[in-house]
Every structure is written in C-alpha cells, then in structure tokens.
Amino acid sequence: MKTRFLVLSAAISCAFAGNVMALTKAEYKMQKDQISADYKVNRDKCAALQANAKDICVSEAKGSEKIAKAELEAQYKPSAKTTQKVAMAKADAAYDTAKEKCDDLAGNAKDVCVKEAKAAYVKAKEDAKVVKASSDTTKDKAEKMNEVKKDARTETREADYKAAKERCDSLAGVAKDNCLSDAKTKYGM
C-alpha cells in the first residue's frame, strides 16, 4: 500500500513539474511564431473597422502581442527581470489602448481621460518596480524596498493629483477653487 502511494505521489509530482519546467528552444520559437501569427490575424480583423474603432482594435492587437511575447520570455527565462517586463508590457498595452479610447472624446473630457490613463499607467509601472525590488536577495533589500515603495507612492500620488486637477478644469469660479483645494489636500500637494 505504501509503495502504491509513493508511486502515485511521484507520478502526480512529475505531472505538475512538467508545467513549471522552462521551455526548450524549439518550443520557444514555435510559440513565438504562433504569437506573431495570432497578431496578424487580430490586426487583419481590424481592417473592417473605421476611424478610431480601427485604431483601438490595432492597439489591442499590438498590446496582446506585446504581453504574449513578454509572458513567453518569462516562461523561457524565468527571472525577476522578465516578471517585471510582463507587468510593464501589460501596463504599456493598457495605457496605449486607453489613450486610443480617449480619442473618441473632446475638450476637457478627453484631457481628463488621458490624465486618468496616465495615472493608471504610472501606478502599474511603479507596482512593477516594487515587485522587482521585492525579489532582491541582497542584504540591503529592506532599505531598497523602502526607497522603491516611497518613490512609487510619490509618483502615483503626483499622477493622481494631475488627473484630479484636470477634472477640476471643467468647473469655474468657487467650485473650481474648492475642487483644486480638495485635490491638493487629498494628494498632499
């Protein structure tokens, strides 16, 4: 009975370990080629669209390709650096698509949309830096983490403040002054 249990445990362990193992060079190349082919198919689907809808579609296709390539690279050569690249690819793709979606708007609404997209991008970018710093194995890791987190909070807060300030621009007079004052207080500016 114990022997069966050990054999079963070993078999299950091997099955799960196969999913974690890095890719061979041939598998990597094959998947990279598939990603390029998928991008071309997705981009070609955009041809039927018009104006900004087409731009959004192309941006989404490019973003999907960029993310898939970064994830493939992280699977092929796992490291903190490639993990950060995946997070940055996702942030870049989301930001580029969000900016394209903002093009459908006009005036202050467009400006607010762009600033909010930028704030989300900055937050994602800073989060990626924190994740990379957390994988540091040096003895001064805690000091580096504190510095990276502090910088991330500052960058995120400034980007959020700019978006809030832009939202206030649609107001006038006392309402605008109150809005700006509230934004400065909220974001410590």
Whole-model pTM over 0.95? no
In the chain (189 residues long), the average pLDDT of successive 10-residue segments reads 42 42 84 94 93 94 96 91 92 94 92 94 90 77 84 90 90 91 89
Structural domain harbouring 170: 105-189
Q: Collect all residues with Cβ–Cβ distance below 8 Å to 43 and sequence separation of at least 6.
A: 58, 61, 62
> Residue 183 domain-assigned?
yes
> Residue 10 domain-assigned?
no
CA distances (Å), origin 101, targets 42, 54, 60, 106: 18, 11, 11, 11
Residue 10: per-residue pLDDT: 41
Residue 21: per-residue pLDDT: 57
Residue 14: per-residue pLDDT: 42
> Residue 88 domain-assigned?
no
Residue 17: per-residue pLDDT: 41
> Residue 65 domain-assigned?
no
Number of domains the chain contains: 1
> Residue 41 domain-assigned?
no
> Residue 128 domain-assigned?
yes
> Residue 19 domain-assigned?
no
> Residue 92 domain-assigned?
no
